[in-house]
Chain A
């Protein structure tokens, strides 16, 4: 009898211990969740918060469900103990549901992003712009701007050929490689028609790499649609700092922005001379595309390739059909006036105003430049909206189409997980922009 009683007591104590552990985990989830929610909604200027902001808005739909589950679990665990204090359960319920609702905002604002993108396309191409894409071509593209299955189960990875690690530059102790993503079948029968996309990675001009840091899933997706994607490295400033972003040592050195432009220009020359024939690349249809620092270089090279200041850097055999800067910094005087990035341009905006002006992409716009599609998160703590707006204003004032797609609650690098609510909308309009801009003479 005593043994049975002891057994029941032990079981009861174990149950109680498990209950206490679960209650504590739930409260801990709420504390961490409150911090995460603050990061999604407000600017918190700590390196941890900025790093977390890259991911949180991309997975906020999952966090919403987790907070609802935690709320249900906590209310149920406490309800047996606090039968006479129902108000505690009600407070937990209200708090948990509020947390869930706030985290669902990035997902709930998807219709706004879609409407904004539609308006931008209507202004640039007219309200009948979809009729420019034949049905047969559109069948290769995403059928809708957003769906839940890609969001909750991941974006499907497309099949394509990949050549990794081709050396294209070896000078002054810096070696640069590129990867090529190209279609398995004949690209001329696909929407891309073997058009070239030169993809430039981000990382604040000091860090980052091709491949892992340059939205691999999108590279494959575009290659499967008939684009030849060249995912390239360029020289990075070695200012002695460190980052969680993987960066190969062999690309780092005493590099300036002029060197970066020279190296990318050098790639375009080699593309003309060697790689175009290897990959059957269509040099009459070329795009620059990149995010963050890569977005800056995309805008700089795409708008400056025909500017006398950068003359001689680029191949003349390439016809630029568009540029795709993703959260691009624009103002040189803002980004390159403080250590360590001030090492990227000689002097400062007062002592060297011409160079600073030339390294501001919006100053390079002229009537001969290609159209642009820009991605910009509205919760980007590193690159604010006015950068993209300046590029857009310069292009529009020169009579060039520019579509600025904005995404509420989207932080910097919010396009990295391709199935998220921002990226799905982005990919839908990106593939259509690529096709329509190819057709322009």
Chain B
């Protein structure tokens, strides 16, 4: 299969996974009692993160960084990696806070860190995947040959 098609399919799947993860995430943060649907959410969460990582890794090889579009995607890929790292750190510290402190400012801060960390990843994931998907056929931005 051609790299262009592979990238298009991955970005397409990534949009789908991130949108589902975001929707189930909203549901989860509103009603967090155990529910079999959330097991599916957990799988979507892992898959969406994995596909985001795969996209970030793959595009470097095919991006034409000398073109305007290539530069734009390249810039956003760096922004996404950095925000992904910061979001994961926010979630980890949020989980540690909420494991030990159940009330007061730090508990609220911990919960906010988890929620915002999660949504930063999925929302940027949707935007970045859409960017790749929509520009996939614009030859100026890519070196698929």
Where the two chains meet, the residues of A that have a C-beta atom closer than 8 Å to any C-beta of B are 55, 59, 62, 65-66, 68-70, 72-73, 75-76, 79-80, 142-144, 147-157, 212, 216-217, 220, 416-419
Residues of B within 8 A of A147 (CB): 38-39, 42
B45–A418 touching, CB < 8 Å: no
B85–A69 touching, CB < 8 Å: yes
Q: A154-B94, A418-B99, A419-B95 are in contact. Are A143 and B88 (CB under 8 A)?
A: no
Residues of B within 8 A of A59 (CB): 92, 95-96
Least Cβ–Cβ distance between A95 and chain B, in angstroms: 15
Residues of B within 8 A of A154 (CB): 94-95, 98-99, 110-111, 114
Stretch of B3-11, B26-34, B127-135 at the chain-chain interface: B26-34
Main DSSP-derived SS at the A contact region: helix
Q: List 7 extra interface pairs beyond A69-B88, A152-B118, CB under 8 A.
A: A76-B81, A144-B39, A148-B46, A149-B28, A151-B42, A217-B99, A418-B99
Residues of B within 8 A of A152 (CB): 42, 45-46, 91, 118
Q: Does B124 contact A (CB under 8 A)?
A: no
Q: How far is the CA of A76 from the CA of B38 in the complex (A)?
A: 35
Q: How far is the CA of A75 from the CA of B56 in the complex (A)?
A: 11
Q: Which residues in chain B, 32-64, are within 8 Å of chain A measured between CB atoms?
A: 32-36, 38-39, 41-43, 45-46, 49, 53, 56-57, 60
Residues of A within 8 A of B99 (CB): 154-155, 216-217, 416-419
A72–B57 touching, CB < 8 Å: yes
Tell me which of A65, A76, A79 contacts B88 (CB under 8 A): A65
Q: How far is the CA of A142 from the CA of B32 in the complex (A)?
A: 12
Closest to B35 in A: A143
Least Cβ–Cβ distance between B127 and chain A, in angstroms: 17
Q: A148-B46, A149-B41, A149-B45 are in contact. Are A66 and B85 (CB under 8 A)?
A: yes
Q: How far is the CA of A62 from the CA of B85 in the complex (A)?
A: 10
Which of A80, A154, A216, A419 has the largest number of chain B CB atoms within 10 A?
A154
Q: Does B84 contact A (CB under 8 A)?
A: yes
B28–A153 touching, CB < 8 Å: yes
B88–A66 touching, CB < 8 Å: yes
Q: Does B100 contact A (CB under 8 A)?
A: yes
Residues of B within 8 A of A142 (CB): 34
Tell me which of B28, B34, B49, B95 contacts A65 (CB under 8 A): B49
Q: A73-B81, A147-B38 are in contact. Are A157 and B98 (CB under 8 A)?
A: yes
Residues of B within 8 A of A76 (CB): 60, 77-78, 81
Q: How far is the CA of A155 from the CA of B111 in the complex (A)?
A: 11
Least Cβ–Cβ distance between B71 and chain A, in angstroms: 12
Q: Does B102 contact A (CB under 8 A)?
A: yes
Q: How far is the CA of A220 from the CA of B103 in the complex (A)?
A: 12
Residues of B within 8 A of A55 (CB): 96
Closest to A218 in B: B99
Q: How far is the CA of A298 from the CA of B99 in the complex (A)?
A: 23
Residues of B within 8 A of A153 (CB): 25, 28, 45, 91, 95, 114, 118
Q: How far is the CA of A62 from the CA of B84 in the complex (A)?
A: 11
Those 7 A-B pairs whose CB atoms lie nearest each other, nearest first: A148-B42, A156-B32, A149-B42, A417-B99, A154-B95, A147-B42, A62-B92
Least Cβ–Cβ distance between A418 and chain B, in angstroms: 6
Least Cβ–Cβ distance between B50 and chain A, in angstroms: 9
Tell me which of A72, A220, A417 contacts B95 (CB under 8 A): A417
A417–B96 touching, CB < 8 Å: yes
Which of A144, A153, A155, A216 has the largest number of chain B CB atoms within 10 A?
A153
Closest to B34 in A: A143
Q: How far is the CA of A440 from the CA of B39 in the complex (A)?
A: 33
Least Cβ–Cβ distance between A277 and chain B, in angstroms: 27
